[in-house]
Amino acid sequence: MDSKSDRRRFLQQTAALAGVAAGAGLAAKSGPANAQGNNVHAEPPRRGARYRIDHMTHYTPLHEYNGIITPSRLHFMQQHSSEYPEIEEARHTLKIFGLVDRPLSFSVADLKRLPSVSRVHFLECHGNSSPAIHGEGDENMGLPIQYIHGMTSCSEWTGVPMSVLLREAGVKTAGTWLVNEGDDAGKFSHTLPTAKAIEDCFVAYGQNGDPLRIEQGYPIRLIVPGWEAPFSVKYLRAIKVVDQPYNAWNESMNHSVARPDLGNKARWYHFAFGPKSVITRPSAGMEMRRGYNQITGLAWSGGGKITKVEITTDGKNWRQAKIQEPVHTKAHTRFTFDWEWTGQEAMLVSRSTDETGELQPTLAEMSKYHGISMAEWRSKEKPRSIHTNWQQPWKVNKDGSISDAMFA
């Protein structure tokens, strides 16, 4: 990988460096408190206090479906509260206010009357593929790919472009940032640069032809293509146009990771995901049979379309995989590769390249990017890390069993 362009991208993806109070690490360990209550920009957790984090997660079984659209019922789910909000669609509104000429309020029916788009995009949690999940003694260790990489899914979303809504409201020149707020118990909120909103974001009410599932934000959610999923606020109810990033609780405290190599400062923002891919079949926990075996998996990138996927079966030599059409931008892309398994040990890895020319990094390259040493990755107490797109190796053993060789 070109380290210069990597560095550039890194800087682009990172809007701010910020000092983080000792409490952040604490909160991170025990998870986010839903204790945000109704105050979106609640005070940061106090040192020494105990935080309880209400959190629900469902993982997508990536190895159990075909093509590029995740069946809606299998879409992953990350909810920062202990229950789903019960929203009556007929009474729900989306308000746009702040630095605008005309503050507006839309009912869901109003939104459905406006010009719409249907687009295929992936969503991926910033915590997907986290090192902790591979950890020895981790309750998820040895479980299938679902629990390692299953916090990403891909759907056809239908909704109204943000460019339409923001034009209606008339954003003032100073309105360079948005604070988007959800209607769930914690009033989950996230900042977004106005420029990105206008470029390709939309307020979705449809998921694969149906209304959004309640897990995905019924009746409406924001879709921020290619960027880590916390930007895509569910149960969207308010867009406040502001002149600077607000760093709502989840982004500044819960989703930031203190970095020893940065003097315990944290990167508050990680925007687009770089090129990523994973072999979904065969993968950890499955049994290999001798003879012909199709290797298949998914590749995606926040940088645009996937242009190339390569596979190695010996951990060294790379050959090109077939890419299945259609290829959508910022969407899961299906690849396949013909293979004969002769009964020998094998190391199966995929790596993708996107239309910007960026190549999916190895663990060693990511290690530099995260400022974490290989020894730390391999230690029992894995460092907390987010926004990872390293290559995933699966080891095929002589007896046909397959294991996760990520930190082996």
Ligand X SMILES: Nc1nc2c(c(=O)[nH]1)N[C@H]1C(S)=C(S)[C@@H](COP(=O)(O)O)O[C@H]1N2
Burial class (CB in 10 A: 0-12, 13-18, 19+), 28: buried
Nearer to ligand X, 192 or 346 (CB): 192
Question: Coil, helix or strand for 270?
Answer: coil
Q: Please choose, out of 14-22, 102-110, 225-233, 330-338, the segment that lies near ligand X by the rule CB under 6 A.
A: 225-233
* Residues 66-95, mask of contacts with Mo ion (x by CB under 5 A): ------------x-----------------
Nearer to ligand X, 125 or 166 (CB): 125
Q: In angstroms, rounded to a whole number, what is the distance separating the alpha carbons of residues 403 and 401?
A: 7
Nearer to Mo ion, 120 or 123 (CB): 123
125 binds ligand X (CB under 6 A): yes
202 binds ligand X (CB under 6 A): no
Min dist CB 248 to ligand X, Å, is: 11
Reading the block at residue 376, the tokens are: 């730390």
Helices (H), 2-58: 3-13, 22-30
Q: Please choose, out of 45-53, 55-63, 117-125, 202-210, the segment that lies near Mo ion by the rule CB under 5 A.
A: 117-125
Q: How many residues belong to the site for Mo ion (CB under 5 A)? A: 2
Of 111, 224, 229, 272, which one interacts with ligand X (CB under 6 A)?
A: 229
Q: How many residues belong to the site for ligand X (CB under 6 A)? A: 19
125 binds Mo ion (CB under 5 A): yes
**Alpha-carbon dihedral angle through residues 230, 254, 12, 99, given to the nearest 10 degrees:** 70
Residue 233 binds which entry of ligand X, Mo ion, none, CB below 5-8 Å type-dependent: ligand X
Nearer to ligand X, 181 or 354 (CB): 181
Distances (CA, A) of 39 to 22, 182, 191, 233: 22, 12, 15, 17
State the residue number with the nearest CB to ligand X: 182
Distances (CA, A) of 406 to 126, 282, 310, 319: 18, 15, 18, 20
Q: In angstroms, rounded to a whole number, what is the distance separating the alpha carbons of residues 9 and 355?
A: 14
Q: Are 28 and 384 in contact (CB under 8 A)?
A: yes
Q: Among 81, 105, 76, 78, which Cα is nearest to 91's?
A: 105
180 binds ligand X (CB under 6 A): no
Neighbours of 19 (CB within 10 A): 11
123 binds ligand X (CB under 6 A): yes
Min dist CB 207 to ligand X, Å, is: 9
Of 36, 79, 296, 389, which one interacts with ligand X (CB under 6 A)?
A: 79
182 binds ligand X (CB under 6 A): yes
Neighbours of 158 (CB within 10 A): 21
Min dist CB 291 to ligand X, Å, is: 38
Reading the block at residue 233, the tokens are: 């606020």
Q: In angstroms, rounded to a whole number, what is the distance separating the alpha carbons of residues 65 and 332?
A: 13
* Residues 31-70, mask of contacts with ligand X (x by CB under 6 A): ----------------------------------------
DSSP string, 173-225: TT--EEEEEESSTT--EEEEEHHHHHHH-EEEEEETTEEPPGGGTTT-EEE-T
Q: Among 207, 210, 203, 196, which Cα is nearest to 111's?
A: 203
Q: Please choose, out of 72-80, 134-142, 349-357, 381-389, the segment that lies near ligand X by the rule CB under 6 A.
A: 72-80
Chain residues 187-226 in contact with Mo ion, contact rule CB under 5 A: none
Q: Among 270, 271, 160, 144, which Cα is nearest to 222's?
A: 160
Q: Among 252, 262, 274, which Cα is nearest to 372's?
A: 262
Min dist CB 227 to ligand X, Å, is: 11
Nearer to Mo ion, 157 or 335 (CB): 157
237 binds ligand X (CB under 6 A): no
Nearer to ligand X, 89 or 136 (CB): 89
Of 205, 235, 341, 390, which one interacts with ligand X (CB under 6 A)?
A: 235
Residues that bind Mo ion (CB under 5 A): 78, 125
Query: In the complex, which residues of this chain contact ligand X (CB under 6 A)?
Result: 75-80, 123, 125, 182, 184, 188, 215-216, 229-230, 232-235
